[in-house]
Amino acid sequence: MAKVLMVFGSTTGNTESIAHMIEKKLANGGHEVTVLNSADANPEHLAKGYDCVLMGCSAWGDEEVEMQDDFATFFEGIETMDLKGVKVAAFASGDKSYPNFCGAADVIVERSKELGAELIADSLKLEGDGSSDEDEVDSFVSEVMKAL
């Protein structure tokens, strides 16, 4: 059993719904999952004691990627999170009509790699709340679980 931390940022609840879908599937796989809304999370040493950190965030930019407000604030302190050597993957909700579909996930992945995290799965990028893409959630979770 691995200890998994999930942190999400969500304005209308879509990324939050995806986070809870992932949470249920990981818990069914026997893993211990802690889910935090980035609005209530302090990044300092947050990854300590976890085997894996999953981060999810929607994008709100147009030409450029702007992270969801609460997550953007959380992300400013990500270097204090102790991600070195920690298994990491990202997920996002977005809208394909925007140029950077789910671009926040790419930002999370790049920064986490710079901080020494080990990327364990391709990012899960879904439209809306993910309820019509359960297969993609399943694939993401099984890729994550293989690495735990």
Which residues of the chain form contacts with ligand FMN (CB under 6 A)? 10-15, 58-62, 65, 68, 93-95, 98, 100-103, 128
The distance of closest approach from Cβ of residue 49 to ligand FMN in the complex, given in angstroms and rounded to an integer, is 27
- Shorter beta-carbon distance to ligand FMN: residue 65 or 109: 65
Residues in the chain: 148
Spatial distance between the Cα atoms of 124 and 130, rounded to a whole number of angstroms: 10
Q: Smallest distance, Å, CB 62 to ligand FMN?
A: 6
Task: Identify which of residues 96 and 146 has a Cβ nearer to ligand FMN in the complex.
Answer: 96
> Which residue number places its CB atom closest to ligand FMN?
94
Q: Give the C-alpha separation, 15 to 24, whole Å.
A: 14
Cβ proximity to ligand FMN, 43 vs 56, nearer residue: 56
Element (H, E) at 88: strand 87-94
**Minimum distance, C-beta of residue 78 to ligand FMN, in the bound complex (Å):** 19
Query: Could you give the residue ranges of the DSSP H alpha helices within 3-63?
Result: 14-28
Q: Which is nearer to ligand FMN, 12 or 142 (CB)?
A: 12
Query: In the block, which residue shows the tokens 């994008």?
Result: 59
Residue 55: how many other CB atoms lie within 10 Å = 31
CB of 56 to ligand FMN, least distance (A): 8
Instruction: Please check whether residue 46 is in contact with residue 82, taking contact to mean a CB–CB distance below 8 angstroms.
Output: yes
